[in-house]
Amino acid sequence: MKSALRVLVVEDEASTRQEMAALLGDMPEVAEVLVADNGASAVRLLGTETIDAAFLDILMPGLDGMDVARVLSVMSEAPSIVFVTASEAHAVEAFGIGAVDYLLKPIRPERLAEAVGRIAQLRRPAGAAVPAEDLHVVQIDTGRRTVFVKRDDVQFVEAQGDYVRLHTADGSHLIRLSLSYLEEVWSSAGFVRVHRGYLVAIPWVRDLRVTSSSGLVAGTPAGDVPVSRRHGRHLRSQLMEAARRDQLGRSVNAGPPPRPRDTEHEPRQEP
């Protein structure tokens, strides 16, 4: 993805300000990170700089994050606002102002990355194509460890509220993304909508069959995926096209083909 966003971090605590600036600076969507240690400094900076997004601490001496957000909201080209705070108490007010996201301290890198991704999507010009390389690898931080899930290992995706669950041969992984966003970004990799709550990767589909409990399902090694009547015909045509191109039947244990037996040099078996 092209580096395009200029972001501002407004945080009075030096260690948190430095951590956020470093995390944001490493993200491919971010071109430049500006910082301010209080609300008044942020407002003065906004008078001379153009920014795309502001990450605002709420509880600061003098002008707090809410005050800064109200100043931003009346700008002719208002930046996207993300609040960063240690308390959930201001969430309703924050979204009432028009915040894109509300992050709780301590900052989790995957939540920060998700907020940046949402901002990049919102600020993408209308009609602009979604880069095919987006989310080729999904980084999931579980708190104790970080898991990297390759898109090509995902067999189907299941919506769960504000999250999606990625199903692979090794298990499932929960991440806060929308199903519609993944449908858009991963369509070029063969992911198609088969139900209002599911995407399936065409190369992983083994068969279609009707069950007594779920109706029509698409079978994958990771499990069966329900297919709605609305999407059934389209899925069949996609599977037929993939079969013609020999793109069906991806195997969990795919490996090099077995070597042919060299009978000329095999030892003869005694009768």
- Domain membership of residue 197 (yes or no) is yes
Range of the domain at 229: 137-244
Given this model, what pLDDT does residue 270 score?
Answer: 39
Last residue of a domain, one of 55, 90, 122: 122
On whether both 99 and 26 belong to a single domain, the answer is: yes
Identify the CATH number of the domain in which residue 228 sits.
2.40.50.1020
Given this model, what pLDDT does residue 142 score?
Answer: 60
Mean pLDDT (the chain, rounded): 83
Given this model, what pLDDT does residue 257 score?
Answer: 38
Q: What is the pLDDT of residues 95-126, one digit of tens each?
A: 787 888 888 888 888 888 888 888 887 776 65
- Domain membership of residue 161 (yes or no) is yes
On whether both 176 and 92 belong to a single domain, the answer is: no
pLDDT at 271 over 50: no
Separation CA 134–CA 124 (nearest Å): 13
On whether both 148 and 71 belong to a single domain, the answer is: no
Instruction: Give how far the C-alpha of residue 139 lies from the chain's centroid of Cα atoms, to the nearest Å.
Output: 8
On whether both 158 and 116 belong to a single domain, the answer is: no
The torsion region of residue 223 among left (phi > 0), alpha (psi -120 to 50) and beta comes to left
Detail the DSSP E strand segments found in 106-145.
137-141
On whether both 150 and 199 belong to a single domain, the answer is: yes
On whether both 11 and 105 belong to a single domain, the answer is: yes
On whether both 18 and 117 belong to a single domain, the answer is: yes
- Domain membership of residue 167 (yes or no) is yes
On whether both 180 and 117 belong to a single domain, the answer is: no
Closest CA to 177 of 230, 120, 126, 228: 120
On whether both 116 and 9 belong to a single domain, the answer is: yes
Q: What is the pLDDT of residues 245-257, one digit of tens each?
A: 888 877 665 443 3
- Domain membership of residue 206 (yes or no) is yes
Separation in Å, CA 125 to CA 78, 121, 129:
15, 9, 9
263 band by pLDDT with thresholds 50, 70 and 90: very low
On whether both 75 and 164 belong to a single domain, the answer is: no
Separation CA 221–CA 128 (nearest Å): 35
What is the number of structural domains in the chain? Answer: 2
Last residue of a domain, one of 82, 99, 122: 122
Separation CA 56–CA 259 (nearest Å): 61
On whether both 118 and 150 belong to a single domain, the answer is: no
Q: What is the pLDDT of residues 23-61, one digit of tens each?
A: 999 888 899 999 999 999 999 998 888 899 999 999 898
- Domain membership of residue 261 (yes or no) is no
Q: Are strands 5-10 and 53-57 parallel, antiparallel or unpaired?
A: parallel
On whether both 19 and 97 belong to a single domain, the answer is: yes
pLDDT at 133 over 70: no
Q: Is residue 54 within 8 Å of 80, Cβ to Cβ? A: yes
- Domain membership of residue 260 (yes or no) is no
Identify the CATH number of the domain in which residue 42 sits.
3.40.50.2300
Mean pLDDT of 144-168: 87
Given this model, what pLDDT does residue 258 score?
Answer: 41
Given this model, what pLDDT does residue 42 score?
Answer: 93
Last residue of a domain, one of 68, 98, 122: 122
| pLDDT > 90 in the chain, percent | 41
Given this model, what pLDDT does residue 240 score?
Answer: 93
Burial 65-87, CB ≥16 within 10 A → b, else e: bbbbbebbeeeeeebbbbbbbee
Q: Is residue 108 within 8 Å of 144, Cβ to Cβ? A: no
269 band by pLDDT with thresholds 50, 70 and 90: very low
Angle CA 85–86–88, to nearest 5: 85
